[in-house]
Amino acid sequence: MAPRKDAVSKKTVAKIEKLAEGVLKAVAGGKNPSLDIPVRSLANVKWSDKRRLVELGSQKQKRYFFNVSMAKKFMQTFLVSEACKELIDSGKTTSIRDLYYVTKHTIGDTKQNTFEEQDESDPIIEDLEVTVDALREELHLFAARKGSMVGPITIVDTGDTIDLRRMGSGGWAVPSIVEENIITFKKHEAKYVLLIEKDAVWTRFNEDKFWKRNSCIIVQGGGQPPRGVRRLVQRLHSELKLPVYVLVDNDPWGFYIYSVMKQGSINLAYESMRMAVPDARFVGLSSFDKDKYQLPGNVSIKMDDGDNNRAKQMLAYPWFRHAKWQKEIQEMVRSGLKFELEALSRRGISFITEEYVPKKLKDKDWLE
């Protein structure tokens, strides 16, 4: 007996079936079957002032079956579609790596394989996502889990009730799939969400019980937050109306992590609405914090050419054009220095949890 589908799964299956029905209709009408695939390139990415998001444009490309250069990708698209539909129908999930093996086989009596390497199947998954307007996670595909979370909130994860107030030193491991049909939020006393770039810094906040003293949820992103973390933080903000603060290093990469959480990324522009938090606030190390918090010069790191080039690129981004951000980035370039969050430990091992972040929040000393 097939498992009962929730509303999201039914909707996703309907979209996949509609895709297949369109091809069958074209064949029945004697036409060359085709798919309209939204173009996932920088040229088709735009900035929306109204939504304050990086969005995918309207450009599409046709993928025909009767076309020597397109036939293989056309076939691959439906192989992946069929595999995803089977996953949804069975109520199971799998990794994108596993899907590659599930869909890889030799075609007939030829020596040709449907997929040679995973770097062929991954873009097809992204094509399917954007074509049927469904998150990868709604297609029942997951990536390696990365990220931890603790705080004054109870959640239900696939039927299991979990109290995130009692997660010990490691926290609850944030899964890749965090949609409403998998994760639901229950009782909470949280006032805000603090997304922390690095595991070591998150561990300090957890060990110091910062979340308990300040009634907040702390989430560790492991560098650039994976999709599951970004989506979960976005849900905490949109569904529970919790403000989001981002704590990252004072370097171009830390600034970029913040911007991806706030505006979305160019690579995933088609998912910005479901992953970004335009109201997110930056409480990470500022280029002016060295003097403000009396950090000794020997805890700084010299900017290299890659850092400088990245910083200068950021000055041109529309989402960094605000005067305060221009001043922030220009000061970083001018000084030629960058700082990791751990540099604050020179002021005391718990300075960051007991003084730095509390003062930033109290004084509203953040960037937006």
Catalytic residues: 101
Sign of torsion over alpha carbons 106, 112, 118, 124:
negative
C-alpha closest to that of 259 among 149, 148, 368: 368
Spatial contact of 222 and 277, defined as CB atoms under 8 Å apart: no
The pairs formed by 53-58 with CB atoms below 8 angstroms and a separation of 24 or more are 53/263, 53/264, 53/272, 53/273, 53/276, 53/278, 54/263, 54/264, 54/265, 54/266, 54/269, 54/272, 54/276, 54/319, 55/264, 55/269, 55/270, 55/272, 55/273, 56/130, 56/269, 56/270
Task: For 45-79, give one letter per residue: b (16+ CB within 10 A) or e.
Answer: bebeeeebbbbbeeeeeebbbeeeebeebbebbbb
C-alpha closest to that of 194 among 219, 160, 215: 219
